[in-house]
Amino acid sequence: MSKLLGKSIVGFSRSQSDEPFTQAVNPATNEPLEPQYFTAAGDEVARALDLAEKAFPIYSSLPAAKRVEFLRRIAELIEQAGDAIAERGVQETGLPEARMRGETGRTTGQLRLFAALIEEGSWVDARVEIAQPDRQPLPKPDLRSMKRPLGPVVVFCASNFPLAFSVAGGDTASALAAGCPVLVKAHHSHPGVAEIVGNCVEQAARDTGMPEGVFSLLYGGGRSVGVAMVEAPAVQAVGFTGSRSGGTALMQAAAGRKQPIPVYAEMSAVNPVVLLPEALTERGEAIAEGMLTSLTMGVGQFCTNPGLIFMPDSAAPAFKEKLSSLVAEAGCGVMLNAGIAKAFRESTAAIEKIPGVKKLAAADDAGGNCASPAVFSVSVETFLSTPDLQAEMFGPATLIVEGSMEQIEQAIAGLEGQLVGTIHGTEAEIKQYTSLVKTLEGRSGRLVFNGFPTGVDVCHAMVHGGPYPATSDGRSSSVGTMAIDRFCRPVAWQGFPDSELPQELQDANPLSIWRLVDGERSRESL
């Protein structure tokens, strides 16, 4: 790999700023990693915004085939940088190499999925209404509509996914696919991986003839660089994955603009798991084994981590006993950075102090930036009367809530919005507890039956979203092809000459896409 420079990528050039921003730290050793990273200067941020604004009309007017080339070239270059990413990623995050390789594959897979989506083309939801000049009482005009990109998008890298939710992650891939230039704000925890991937995107933009400004990568503080970009008039949408405080700050900044803009913030969730009695009797130990894997995957640093487990207090003890013994023996994992490790220690210490909460088990604390997996329990009565027990403990800790099924349904009805709601039961039980399932549906973006919430497949049907505060906007998904809709708006053309319409709306349907023609789905020409 080429030497890391520590500099922001502003269009096709590098920042000249010498104001220090951050230096990465290996969380396993607390040793700083070279090089020093510098904050983008104010005029450099302004230049990145200006380039993005100028790039938008050019980039958004390119044929989809050109954007396909760009996305595929990014994927190729990231693959070529796989060794460098794995090496630096392990140093910066404490995560194992296999995870880095896997996440790199997921990231290039996402880029190629969006390339395939826009190559096929039907995602634009093209609608054609043919003129009826003789319609009574009024003639019907020729009217055609499709989705068009919103404009420049700011993407914030996530701490917990240095690749799949960062520089060229799902937000960037879906925004670029839609036709929006992207300005990425790097995360201070993994600036080196960001630079390696940023170089790939910039190189791909040059290789495929994209306009300068289609992509920039900025280093700097949340206030001086991040919020400044969200408040810039050129920016038309925001993608964010992180804390609730960070996400709500961006929502407020966006709502306070002269022109408010959409913010897609994925924030916090505890992802309730409901264990029904017969399932617990039939396979309590097996559920406990699956739960441990889900709970400790990525050292518990997944937004879909199972942080809350509801079960009847009359259930057989196998599940609790098995989960407790597995947790007690579980290894400690290095967390992403010292701040996250500290916050995890604090949140598990805090929950233990709440009256009525019992610590069932915890692994020995290996110290440093390690997280010690832990499982707590509490009665549903205490849960219902203690709103703090809904708070996310970001890391490998979970809270078992026990009570009657009636009380459990009441507790679920009182939950905030969640990314995932999970149920374990027999087929007879899921038919029996329809009201509970319905209640859980109302709180969740995705429902899982007899599985675990972690593991978010990147496909057409995935919904990685959910009611507030799981996300700022439950009407969307940040994973899978649905994510492209976030960066678009519909535009209609009335009475236009065929040659002046976008190809997607022309009579001949030259791209052979699926369209809604007078209300009927068709991929024919008119």
Binding to its own copies in span 242-261, by CB under 8 A: 251-252, 255, 259-260
Counting contacts by CB under 8 A, is residue 524 touching its own copies? no
What phi and psi, each to the nearest 5 degrees, are found at residue 431?
A: -75, -30
Q: State the amino acid at position 463 in one-letter form.
A: V
Counting contacts by CB under 8 A, is residue 451 touching its own copies? yes
Counting contacts by CB under 8 A, is residue 89 touching its own copies? no
Shortest Cβ distance from residue 215 to its own copies (Å)? 20
Shortest Cβ distance from residue 498 to its own copies (Å)? 10
Q: Which of 163, 225, 190 is nearest to 23 (CA)?
A: 190
Shortest Cβ distance from residue 43 to its own copies (Å)? 23
Shortest Cβ distance from residue 142 to its own copies (Å)? 9
CB 235, CB 50: distance < 8 Å = no
Counting contacts by CB under 8 A, is residue 213 touching its own copies? no
Length of the chain: 526
The residue from 92, 266, 402, 504 that is catalytic is 266
Counting contacts by CB under 8 A, is residue 494 touching its own copies? yes
Residue nearer to its own copies on the CB measure, 330 or 463: 463
**Residue 148 host element (H or E):** strand 143-149
Residue 430 CA, chain-centre distance (Å), reads 29
Applying CB under 8 A, among 472, 478, 506, 509 the residue interacting with its own copies is 472
Residue nearer to its own copies on the CB measure, 203 or 450: 450
Counting contacts by CB under 8 A, is residue 508 touching its own copies? no
389 CB-near residues (< 8 Å, 6+ apart): 351, 354, 357, 378, 382, 383, 399, 401
Q: Which of residues 28-67 bind its own copies (CB under 8 A)?
A: 57, 61
- For the question of residue 370 being annotated catalytic, the response is no
Shortest Cβ distance from residue 110 to its own copies (Å)? 14
**Residue 215 host element (H or E):** strand 215-218
Counting contacts by CB under 8 A, is residue 427 touching its own copies? yes
Counting contacts by CB under 8 A, is residue 461 touching its own copies? yes
The residue from 303, 332, 370, 488 that is catalytic is 303
Shortest Cβ distance from residue 453 to its own copies (Å)? 9
Applying CB under 8 A, among 20, 42, 141, 356 the residue interacting with its own copies is 141
DSSP 208: T
Shortest Cβ distance from residue 448 to its own copies (Å)? 4
Applying CB under 8 A, among 54, 127, 345, 359 the residue interacting with its own copies is 127
Q: Which of residues 91-120 bind its own copies (CB under 8 A)?
A: 102, 120
Residue nearer to its own copies on the CB measure, 366 or 461: 461
Q: Which of 352, 395, 396 is nearest to 377 (CA)?
A: 352
Q: Which of 264, 287, 270, 308 is nearest to 424 (CA)?
A: 287
Applying CB under 8 A, among 455, 510, 512, 525 the residue interacting with its own copies is 455
Counting contacts by CB under 8 A, is residue 430 touching its own copies? yes
Residue nearer to its own copies on the CB measure, 7 or 112: 112
Residue nearer to its own copies on the CB measure, 379 or 450: 450
CB 127, CB 515: distance < 8 Å = yes
Shortest Cβ distance from residue 298 to its own copies (Å)? 14
Counting contacts by CB under 8 A, is residue 460 touching its own copies? yes
Residue 75 CA: distances (Å) to CA of 109, 184, 187, 386: 8, 17, 21, 47
Residue nearer to its own copies on the CB measure, 166 or 236: 236
How do beta strands 272-275 and 418-424 pair?
Answer: parallel
Residue nearer to its own copies on the CB measure, 40 or 448: 448
Counting contacts by CB under 8 A, is residue 387 touching its own copies? no
Q: Which of residues 259-298 bind its own copies (CB under 8 A)?
A: 259-260, 262
Counting contacts by CB under 8 A, is residue 437 touching its own copies? yes
Within 354-474, residue ranges assigned H as helices are 380-385, 405-413, 427-432, 434-443
Distance CA 122, CA 513 (A): 5
Counting contacts by CB under 8 A, is residue 482 touching its own copies? yes
Distance CA 38, CA 223 (A): 15
Q: How many residues bind its own copies (CB under 8 A)?
A: 78
**Residue 361 host element (H or E):** strand 358-362
DSSP helix/strand/coil, 33: coil
- For the question of residue 120 being annotated catalytic, the response is no
CB 423, CB 435: distance < 8 Å = no
Q: Which of residues 389-418 bind its own copies (CB under 8 A)?
A: 416-417
DSSP helix/strand/coil, 366: coil
Counting contacts by CB under 8 A, is residue 133 touching its own copies? no
Residue nearer to its own copies on the CB measure, 234 or 375: 234
Shortest Cβ distance from residue 178 to its own copies (Å)? 12
Contacts of the segment 211-214: beta carbons below 8 A, 24+ positions apart: 211/54, 211/55, 211/58, 211/59, 212/11, 212/12, 212/51, 212/55, 213/11, 213/48, 213/50, 213/51, 213/52, 213/53, 213/54, 213/55, 213/181, 214/52, 214/55, 214/59, 214/70, 214/176, 214/181, 214/182
Shortest Cβ distance from residue 213 to its own copies (Å)? 16
Applying CB under 8 A, among 181, 312, 373, 445 the residue interacting with its own copies is 445
What phi and psi, each to the nearest 5 degrees, are found at residue 361?
A: -165, 155
Active site residues: 266, 303
